[in-house]
Amino acid sequence: MEIVHYPHPSLRWKSQPVREINVKLKSIVHEMFDLMYEHKGIGLAANQVALPLRVFVMNPSGERQESDQELVFINPEILRKKGTIEGEEGCLSLPDVYGQVRRAEDILVSAFDLTGKEFRLELDDLLSRIVQHESDHLDGVMFFDRMDEEERSKIEAKIADFDFEFRKGQNEGEIPSDVELKRQLAELQP
């Protein structure tokens, strides 16, 4: 398992709901946490590891030893949004690219945990931002899609560099074609 970089097709894929919480899913979640910590992240969606599942993990501390802050969201749904606030975001699928994104300030989210138990959380500040960012991933939305035109223009060259490197890898046979990657994603859907 590895984190894929933009413009890998999985990052634009609308993930399908998880139908069963089993040993395989639990293993995936543990690997996702490992990757998130390894890359110094605070959230990671299944799309970012080329899995079309509605699952993401987060730990706002970003520290493995603070595992009490780990949260797993299976089939999350944001039920309510209130207020707006702007803040800086980045993405493990676009390393070292950051920009200001306007998000809801407070949210109510519903999801299932790894035991299959449904939970609801009212979140604000960083936790709200992480859940919105990762939920967007599950719908194929990147953080820069939410940026205003002026902010996005500041990072367009960096996004273009990622696109160039990805296409170069495809042309050199190091990365499968988009058609092949989409076929793989379709096969992995629940």
**88 among known catalytic residues:** no
- The mean pLDDT value for 59-68 works out to 91
What value, to the nearest 5°, has the Cα angle with vertex 13 and ends 102 and 149? Answer: 30
Catalytic residue, chosen from 31, 134, 150, 151, is: 134
pLDDT value at position 72? 97
- The mean pLDDT value for 115-120 works out to 96
* Per-residue DSSP letter, 7: T
Determine how β-strand 94-112 pairs with β-strand 118-124.
antiparallel
Is the pLDDT reported for residue 28 higher than 90? yes
Is the pLDDT reported for residue 58 higher than 90? yes
pLDDT value at position 42? 96
Q: Nearest-CA neighbor of 35 among 11, 62, 53, 74?
A: 62
Is the pLDDT reported for residue 189 higher than 90? no
Q: pLDDT tens across 68-99, in order?
A: 899 999 999 999 999 999 999 999 999 999 99
Q: Nearest-CA neighbor of 140 among 2, 8, 3?
A: 8
- The mean pLDDT value for 31-54 works out to 96
CA distance 62 to 81: 25
CA distance 173 to 70: 37
Residue count (the chain): 190
Q: pLDDT band for position 131 (50/70/90)?
A: very high
Average pLDDT, the chain: 95
Give the SS3 label for residue 69.
helix
CA distance 50 to 1: 8
